[in-house]
Structure 1
Amino acid sequence: MRRLRPAPNLAIATLWADLLGQAGIAATVQRAFASSIAGQVPPDQALPEVWIQHEEQFDRAGVMLDELTHCPPRLWVCPGCGERIDGPFEQCWNCGAAMPPDPPSRL
């Protein structure tokens, strides 16, 4: 087993481990409940961590988490109503129109 990285909280650590598992990478969450000792140890030592079971999957797992945590920002204008849409949304909240193919990342 090898430690991939700490997560900011247990929910994120669990999400990361689940996403890696869906991609065929055996991952576990360690220190899931270590936050209870924060104050007795430095806070960064009590964060939950994602660990990879097999060494040969370590690099692939790191690339996947980097892509997940550093998504490019998206900002697009709805072709139906002109609403500016920011974030991961692929449909306009105002009129329901779909995001155009290859919208610019910045307006």
Structure 2
Amino acid sequence: MRRLVTAPNLAIATLWADMLTQGGFPSTVQRAYASSIAGEVPPDQCLPEVWVTDESQFDAARTLLEQLRRAPHRHWVCPACHERVDGPFEQCWNCGGAMPR
């Protein structure tokens, strides 16, 4: 196992580990509950970490995580309901319509 990244909180660490695992890179969250010892040790050493199970997949997992963290920002108008959609979304939150290609 090899540490891939330190996350700002447990929710983000879990999300990143799940996305990596779903992408074919088995990952785990370590130090999930270490925040309770902050103050006794430096706070930056109590943050949760995402670890890749197979070290040979480390570089590919890092590349995938960077792509996932930098999702393209889009601004479009739904052709079905004319709702303005802003962010990395490809589906209208209002009616479920697909982003025009």
Quote the Cα distance in structure 2 between the aligned partners of 1:67 and 1:43: 28
User: Any gaps of 5 or more consecutive residues in structure 1?
Assistant: 102-107
Tell me how far 1:96 sits from its aligned partner. 5.1
Tell me how far 1:24 sits from its aligned partner. 2.4
SS in 2 for 1:71: coil
SS in 2 for 1:47: coil
Stretch moving more, 77-86 or 36-45: 77-86
Task: Tell me if the contact between 1:14 and 1:29 (Cα under 8 Å) persists in the aligned partners.
Answer: yes
Partner of 1:90: 91
Task: Tell me if the contact between 2:90 and 2:98 (Cα under 8 Å) persists in the aligned partners.
Answer: no
SS in 2 for 1:5: strand
Quote the Cα distance in structure 1 between the aligned partners of 2:80 and 2:24: 40
User: Any gaps of 5 or more consecutive residues in structure 2?
Assistant: none
Tell me how far 1:38 sits from its aligned partner. 1.3
Quote the Cα distance in structure 1 between the aligned partners of 2:99 and 2:39: 47
CA shift digits 1:9-46 (9 cap, x unpaired): 11211121122222221211110110001122222111
Quote the Cα distance in structure 2 between the aligned partners of 1:24 and 1:92: 28
Structure with larger Rg: 1
Tell me how far 1:3 sits from its aligned partner. 0.7
Quote the Cα distance in structure 2 between the aligned partners of 1:38 and 1:19: 27
RMSD: 1.8
Quote the Cα distance in structure 1 between the aligned partners of 2:67 and 2:93: 25
SS in 2 for 1:76: strand
CA shift digits 1:40-89 (9 cap, x unpaired): 22221110001112221000110111011111111112234543211225
Quote the Cα distance in structure 2 between the aligned partners of 1:42 and 1:83: 46
**AA of the residue aligned to 2:52:** I
Stretch moving more, 21-30 or 56-65: 21-30
Quote the Cα distance in structure 1 between the aligned partners of 2:60 and 2:20: 9
Number of aligned residues: 100
Query: Percent sequence identity over matched residues?
Result: 63
Is residue 2:56 matched to residue 1:49?
A: no
